[in-house]
Structure 1
Amino acid sequence: MDLENEVMELIANAGYARSLVFQAIAVAREDHDFAQAESLMEQAREALSVAHLTQTKLIEMDEGSGKVPVHIIMVHAQDHLMNAIMLTELGNEIIALHKMINGQ
């Protein structure tokens, strides 16, 4: 496994998920298009799933024994993933609030 490519894949997918969530929130707020917002959220969840699978591969490769060297880029990747997970959860709540405000 090419460690650098795996880490970059994690960052890219987590970042893509984050972008999709922000798009979904904007669509819900500005256009009140909740079907489109949900579609964007589903895409975000899919990207997040890919990022999480990459993280799982890295954890399995390490086996808890320090086999994988921890570099700042790995810390950065983990930060991206955790932020994307939290934002996805908050995005669901924000969209639900926009639905309530708009009587849906």
Structure 2
Amino acid sequence: MGLIINGGNAKSDAMEAIHAAKKDDFELADQKLKDSDKALIEAHHSQTAMLTSEASGEKMDISLLLVHGQDHLMNAITFRDMAAEVVDVYKKMAGVTVG
């Protein structure tokens, strides 16, 4: 469940960053991107725990829930990366120095 919850939170935070940037609230946009990063770290901790268990010889059943969780994580990573680019575009349009 850690993959699903944290992956979903990461994607939501990234979307909120885009919405904030659209309103020229770049401080909130940057905070939401940081929040997204924190959620991704938590999701990675869940994923790493599962990988470590399997590498230690524990049998892991591949379930639809696990596949769904992994899908959430991968989509969240992609969306977060894209959100950062969109926020930068809004910043440039507003005359804010980027990078």
Please give the TM-score of this superposition, normalised by the length of structure 2: 0.92
Which residue in 1 is equivalent to 2:7? 14
Which residue in 1 is equivalent to 2:93? 101
- C-alpha distance after superposition, 1:63-88 (max 9, x if no partner): 18671110011000000000000011
CA distance in 2, matches of 1:92, 1:62: 33
Stretches of structure 1 that go unaligned for 5 or more consecutive residues are 1-7
How big is the shift at 1:10? 1.4
Structural mapping, 1:1-104, within 5 Å: 8-29=1-22, 31-63=23-55, 67-104=59-96
- C-alpha distance after superposition, 1:12-67 (max 9, x if no partner): 011011101101100101x2011110001101100110001110110111118671
Please give the TM-score of this superposition, normalised by the length of structure 1: 0.88
Please tell me the root mean square deviation across aligned C-alpha atoms, in Å: 1.3
Stretches of structure 2 that go unaligned for 5 or more consecutive residues are none
Identity, % of aligned positions: 34
Provide the secondary structure at the position in 1 that maps to 2:95. coil
Please identify runs of 4+ aligned residues in structure 1 that moved more than 2 A: none
